[in-house]
Amino acid sequence: MSEELSIQGTLAETTVPDLFRSLIRSSETAIVSLEGLGRTDVIYVTEGKIVFASSTDPDMGLGEVLLRGGELNLQQYNQASERLVTPRRFGALLVELGFLKPEDLSRAVERQTSAIVLNAMRYRTGSYTIEFTREFPDEIITLPLSTERLILDGIQSIGFWSLITRGLGRLDRILEQAPGSNARSFALELNEEENQVNLIQDAEGATVVETRAAEESEYELAALVERYNTAYQGIFAVVFQKIGDHIYDFVDRVVLHLSPETLPYLSGMNMVNEGRVDFDQLLNNLIASGSENQGLIVHTVLHELLYGWILEVKSEFGGTSLERDVIAMVQKVKR
């Protein structure tokens, strides 16, 4: 998208999550202004990442957000408000008064920005302007927000059925994952229920996978296992380079992420062997289980084990170059 271009429209034609989705997919840098409900919200996006937000809604001020979150008590809020001269200095004033530690100010602004973005997703009426630009106002700071988590939390918080149906379209539509969604899902800290839904979606549609897996030959399944083994081995290598012999404890923690239903299929395998899955042992375990659709189980086991590696890498090395290297490996195996 060329710079210095702007787009205007009404929120009767689209939804705020749809606007964000478009910017994220195309990795745009832009300023999104939303007007309606007696307020104006402005969200700043850099290369497809939400980095800051502001709002004229008095309930979205830093003090109000901290008060609702229990990080300020009413007495502190009132004292700071009485001494406030410039609204933009509220955070600095809280630090001066000793109500907020200097190192906590940035995290407080992150919580305020997140609250503004989540609130903005519930717009049902109003107008929007998207200004594509590489230059933000000087006072705008770049915050290390999780855009993926914000979008997921925002959508989950929508309680208006009219917005839900507008986002989904026809209820008989068959949804499929967007390109690159695997990498984005790995950046999320999913709870058990969210992870289960993601596993189902990531199976490319249960019916499609089940049909395809049932038709796969033993040779094709062996090739699939080897493709995943390449990823497991690669992840094992980069983690070993980082932590040395502690990798063996790391592998034990990876296995803890697996469901009780999956563990029997890995019985008899030594997972510290560079993290590889022994195909012959897996096949023996499948035969012993008496399972009918062995192909589908192989897909499920491999996918769940891959997620186990990702979850443990994120837990130990989240936000580092090692995590980014691992995600790149995962993207290759999922193509």
Evaluated on CA atoms 122, 10, 177, 147, the torsion sign reads negative
- Is residue 38 one of the residues assigned to a domain? yes
* 134/254 same-domain check: no
**CA–CA–CA angle 185, 188, 194 (5° rounding):** 80
- Is residue 174 one of the residues assigned to a domain? no
Contact 243, 250 (CB under 8 A): yes
- Is residue 173 one of the residues assigned to a domain? no
* 52/107 same-domain check: yes
* 206/155 same-domain check: no
- Is residue 77 one of the residues assigned to a domain? yes
Distances (CA, A) of 142 to 91, 132, 207: 16, 17, 43
* 219/303 same-domain check: yes
Phi/psi at 289 (nearest 5 deg)? -75, -20
Q: What is the DSSP string of 128-181?
A: EEEEE-S---TT-------HHHHHHHHHHH---HHHHHHHH-STT----PPTTH
The number of residues making up the chain comes to 335
**pLDDT tens digits, residue range 256-311?**
888 888 889 999 888 777 889 999 999 898 888 887 778 888 888 888 888 888 88
Contacts of 91 (CB under 8 A, 6+ apart): 62, 100, 105, 108, 109
Evaluated on CA atoms 244, 245, 251, 252, the torsion sign reads negative
Range of the domain at 163: 5-168
Contacts of 183 (CB under 8 A, 6+ apart): 327, 330, 331
* 157/220 same-domain check: no
* 159/218 same-domain check: no
* 135/211 same-domain check: no
User: CA 202: distance to chain centroid?
Assistant: 14
The answer for 190, left when phi > 0, alpha when psi is -120 to 50, beta otherwise, is beta
Residue ranges of alpha helices (H) inside the chain are 16-25, 62-68, 74-83, 90-96, 102-120, 147-157, 161-168, 181-186, 192-202, 206-215, 218-243, 247-256, 279-289, 294-317, 321-334
**Last residue of one domain, picked from the residues 138, 168, 198:** 168
- Is residue 59 one of the residues assigned to a domain? yes
Q: For residues 231 and 119, what is the distance between their CA atoms, to the nearest angstrom?
A: 39
**Last residue of one domain, picked from the residues 168, 191, 214:** 168
**Last residue of one domain, picked from the residues 142, 168, 194:** 168
pLDDT of residue 52: 95
pLDDT of residue 202: 55
Number of domains in the chain: 2
Q: How many CB atoms lie under 10 A from the CB of residue 35?
A: 16
pLDDT of residue 210: 47
pLDDT of residue 208: 45
- The residue whose two tokens read 């195309």 is 26
* 75/153 same-domain check: yes
Report the predicted TM-score, pTM, of the whole model to 2 decimal places.
0.58
* 129/227 same-domain check: no
Contact 320, 239 (CB under 8 A): no
Low-confidence ranges of the chain (pLDDT < 70): 1-4, 87-88, 159-162, 164-216, 333-335
* 37/134 same-domain check: yes
Contact 191, 199 (CB under 8 A): no
* 42/187 same-domain check: no
* 127/198 same-domain check: no
